[in-house]
Amino acid sequence: MKIFKRFLSKIKEKEEEQNVMFLYVKCNRCGEKIKVRIVKSTDLLYNYNKPQGDVGYTLRKEILGNKCPNLIYAYAEFDKNKKMLSLDVNGGISIKPEEYKKE
């Protein structure tokens, strides 16, 4: 029975890895680097306005760091396979994961 439970937990972990992505942003006001977890199944909204176009899903996220009250707004567009096509960040800038880890 333990083997079966272990097998199911590994399958669940793999599904979660495919369903989760991260955005990395830096606040314009204080310079804080923020890691934002995005769950593709719940955070992405289906684009009903243009279902035939390239954009299948959109993401609107308000991000608040720990250092200052500055809100950072992220807007992203995804294709029908949930691959990111574009990202627009207001109140901050998008950074690479390597830059986030340098702290």
- Give me the residue spans of the domains in the chain: 20-101
User: Average pLDDT in the 4-9 region?
Assistant: 56
Q: How far apart are CA 54 and CA 57, in angstroms?
A: 9
pLDDT score for 52? 63
pLDDT over 60 (residue 69): yes
Angle at 17 between CA 99 and CA 24, to 5 degrees: 20
User: Average pLDDT in the 65-76 region?
Assistant: 93
Q: What residues does 35 pair with on adjacent strands?
A: 24
Cβ(24)–Cβ(96) below 8 Å: yes
pTM: 0.77
Q: Using alpha carbons, select from 36, 14, 29, 85 the residue that is nearest to residue 56.
A: 85
Which pair of structure tokens corresponds to residue 42? Answer: 């719940």
pLDDT score for 50? 66
pLDDT score for 98? 93
pLDDT score for 1? 61
